Amino acid sequence: MKKLIVSFFILVLVFSLMTGCSGSEQFVTITTGGTGGTYYPIGGAIAKAVGDNTDGLTVTAQAGNASVSNCNLINEGETESALVQNNVAFWAYAGEQSFEGNAVGKLRGIASLYPEAIQLIALEESGITSVEDLKGKKVCVGEQGSGVYADVINILAAYDMTIDDLKADFLSFSEGSAKLKDKQIDAAFLTAGYPTSAVVDVATSRNLTLVQIDEDKINKMIESSPYYAATVIPGGTYKGVDADIITATTMAMWVCSSDLDEKLVYDMTKALWENQSTVAEAHEKGKVVTLDTALEGMGIPLHPGAEKYYNEMK
């Protein structure tokens, strides 16, 4: 009987330890963008860098509808963290643009990652060589409510145009590239780090034109939204596009909910920057994700956990 009692208590102790261990495991999701963009591979790399190097934490990257949708998911408690454009993050936190009357007050920053170029891709046979040439053309403008769509509206406004000047098709990166390949649309906008897999895919079977956004128009965009900047997509980035192309850019950010624990976000931030090589190896844009630019374009409050880490790093 004594042996039975001792065995019983040992079993209870083992069960308690096992329960305690499983109960301490934490789960965080990083919601990204479509599989044809840059958010998806970068988000997966961040999930690996952080999850593999933080005890008791499982991090999963999942495809999403990118910036605007991701901010709303955080607001609704449907995801713990996400990748978004910095201008969209600012609008969400401030309750401006498409977030008017629906501010995402719990949005917090973890890190700025890399510059995202607004890319206007057209079939060479369409004859589109400027933004003005889009009038009356079939154009992919991103999904409704997406960050890409917000960028398109701002670009068109700089050219004194509206969405009604186009035959707009509201599609994701992957859907837009598929329609370009099938010649069902003339052009497509996307906002992503280059080279973008969706564009590389189209360029293998179609002759493409990468359309420039004029510098004076970019300056008009900056006047209304200071989180835009000018950048250059180098010639040779895509097959058949040999000249450098000027366009507008934003910063990609990793954001999270203010509901996340301070120590958890501190550990996540620390794991990202101490294992940045995992991100650098995953995608060309991962090579420019550095601690030196972690606060560049940060238009929303930092999460206290991230802020603590950056203060320690001075």
228, 221 Cβ separation under 8 angstroms? yes
Q: For residues 250 and 154, what is the distance between their CA atoms, to the nearest angstrom?
A: 13
Q: Would you state the pLDDT for residue 58?
A: 97
* CATH code that applies to domain 117-250: 3.40.190.10
Give the pLDDT score at 299.
Answer: 87
* CA-angle at 165, arms to 145 and 36, nearest 5°: 40
Number of H helices, E strands in the chain: 11, 10
Identity of residue 74: I
CA triplet 246, 251, 256: central angle to 5 degrees?
A: 160
Spatial contact of 36 and 63, defined as CB atoms under 8 Å apart? no
Helix (H/G/I), strand (E/B), else coil: 214: coil
Q: What are the residue ranges of helices labelled H in 97-166?
A: 147-158
Pair 208, 241: CB distance under 8 Å: yes
Nearest Cα neighbor of 228 from 118, 114, 100 is 118
Q: Hey, do 25-114+252-313 and 117-250 end up sharing a CATH topology, with the first three levels equal?
A: yes
Task: Encode the chain (314 residues) as per-residue pLDDT tens digits.
Answer: 444 444 444 433 333 334 344 457 899 999 998 888 889 999 999 999 999 999 999 999 999 987 889 999 999 999 999 999 998 999 999 998 889 899 999 999 999 999 889 999 999 999 999 999 999 999 999 988 778 888 999 999 999 999 999 999 999 888 999 999 999 999 999 998 888 888 999 999 999 999 999 999 999 998 887 788 888 999 999 999 999 999 999 999 999 999 999 999 999 999 999 999 999 999 988 999 999 999 988 889 999 999 999 999 98
User: How far apart are alpha carbons 69 and 64 in whole angstroms?
Assistant: 8
CATH number of 25-114+252-313: 3.40.190.10
pLDDT of residue 3: 47
CA–CA dist 119, 69 (Å, integer): 20
- Return the domain boundaries, the chain: 25-114+252-313, 117-250
Residue partners of 238: CB distance under 8 A and separation at least 6: 194, 195, 199, 200, 203, 208, 210
C-alpha 14/C-alpha 300 separation (Å) is: 46
Q: What is the pLDDT of residue 65?
A: 83
Q: Residue 216, Cβ neighbours under 10 Å: how many? A: 8
Q: How far apart are alpha carbons 221 and 225 in whole angstroms?
A: 6
